[in-house]
Amino acid sequence: MSLVVVGSIAFDRVKTPFGEREHLLGGAATHFALAASFFTEVRMVGVVGEDFGDEEFETLHSRGINTEDVEVVKGGKSFFWHGEYGYDLNDRKTHDTQLNVFENFEPKLSDAAKECRMLFLGNIVPSLQSRVRSLCKKVEFSALDSMNLWIETAHDDLVEAIKAVDVAMLNDAEIRQLTGEPNLARAARKIMQLGPTVVVAKQGEYGAALFTGDTFFALPAYPLETVLDPTGAGDSFAGGFLGYMDAHESHELSDDAVLRRAMTYGSVMASFNVEEFGTERVHKLTSDEITERFRQFKQITHFEEIPFKQPAGTTR
């Protein structure tokens, strides 16, 4: 079992209607790795500055995450993102993005990273996603995330990156924007025609949908009464999804039942992530809590088929 993630490792400043935090451990690779670490061995590929200290590394190491492929740039500053959410938590404003050491990020993969079986290409420049994908020759299952910025400024490179992965895991709005197709089912099909056999459409507080060649599955988001910070929900979802897939044999990776459970573990991890700011909730999560919420997902999405009887005297 080995899962590699490449993506941002950051300090986030986040404001929501429920509070504000100045110096949160964040970044797509961080949220992904913490979630996936409950299911498998995770190796992060990324870059940080000297401000990324023992405390931050300890948060990752305490979950068994391998950071040998995280480059520390001497005298550099880590990626910084400042965002704000209103009462509609699906709607966020970016106040500031300071790329810092991330600006000249050139992923350098150790031999161990190149040997990985599973790969998650977090939201970075699409040409770098393609480069990392091509370095990992033994990958059996790979997934990719992106964002509107790359759809607008590097569309063709993003299409090339998508061609090389098994799963495109994007927000529903991004799937529509990328394909120029307003109907989500048709848009997902267009993406599958490029190469991926699976498309996952993340729909924020409405959950997530899974499209494969001939099946469809969807889950609502877990009905939480307390959501403090949605940052990283998508990456936590991806971490739960790929982490769970890594616990399976090669012939099971296209099994619809396995993919459905991966969707559920993804939704479970996303639901925990948003309960507190940054990585605070996932950091103190237990496997028992994950198992319990998985069961609750089964319960809230289950229904019996009871044949409908036409009441006497009514017409068809």
Count residues contacting ligand AMP (CB under 6 A)? 14
Q: What angle do CA 113, 117, 122 make, to 5 degrees?
A: 65
Buried b (16+ CB within 10 A) or exposed e, 7-45: bbbbbbbbbbeeeebeebbbbbbbbbbbbbbbbbbbbbb
Q: Does residue 5 touch ligand AMP according to CB under 6 A?
A: no
Stretch that binds ligand AMP, among 4-12, 37-45, 136-144, 287-295 (CB under 6 A): 4-12
Minimum gap (Å) between residue 77 Cβ and ligand AMP: 13
Pick the closer one to ligand AMP by CB: 1 or 149: 149
Q: Does 27 bind ligand AMP (CB under 6 A)?
A: yes
Which among 41-49, 61-69, 228-236, 261-269 is the span making contact with ligand AMP, rule CB under 6 A?
228-236
* Binder of ligand AMP out of 3, 4, 5, 12 (CB under 6 A): 12
Which residues, including other chains, have CB under 8 Å from residue 195's CB and lie 6 or more apart? 162, 163, 164, 165
- The nearer residue to ligand AMP, 16 or 231, going by C-beta atoms, is 231
Closest distance to ligand AMP from the beta carbon of 167 (Å): 16
Phi, psi of 81 (to 5 degrees): -130, 135
Task: Residue 260: name the closest of 311, 188, 211, 315 by CA.
Answer: 211
CB 138 within 8 A of CB 24: no
Q: Is 8 in the site for ligand AMP (CB under 6 A)?
A: yes
| Residue from 38, 39, 52, 81 in contact with ligand AMP (CB under 6 A) | 81
Q: Which is nearer to ligand AMP, 169 or 253 (CB)?
A: 169
Using CB under 6 A, which of 232, 240, 243, 266 touches ligand AMP? 232
Determine the 3-state secondary structure of 128 from DSSP: helix
Q: Does residue 32 interact with ligand AMP by CB under 6 A?
A: no
Residue number, 71 or 115, with CB nearest to ligand AMP = 71
Q: Contact between 26 and ligand AMP (CB under 6 A)?
A: yes
CB atoms within 10 A of CB 72: 16
Among 231, 264, 267, 271, interactor with ligand AMP by CB under 6 A: 231
Q: How far apart are CA 143 and CA 166, in angstroms?
A: 6
Calculate the CA 283 to chain-centre distance: 17
Residue nearest to ligand AMP (CB): 26
CA dist., res. 143 & res. 288, Å (int):
27
Tell whether residue 221 is a contact of ligand AMP (CB under 6 A).
Answer: no
Q: How far apart are CA 143 and CA 136, in angstroms?
A: 13
Distance CA 43, CA 77 (A): 22
Binding site for ligand AMP (CB under 6 A): 8, 10, 12, 26-28, 81, 97, 123, 231-235
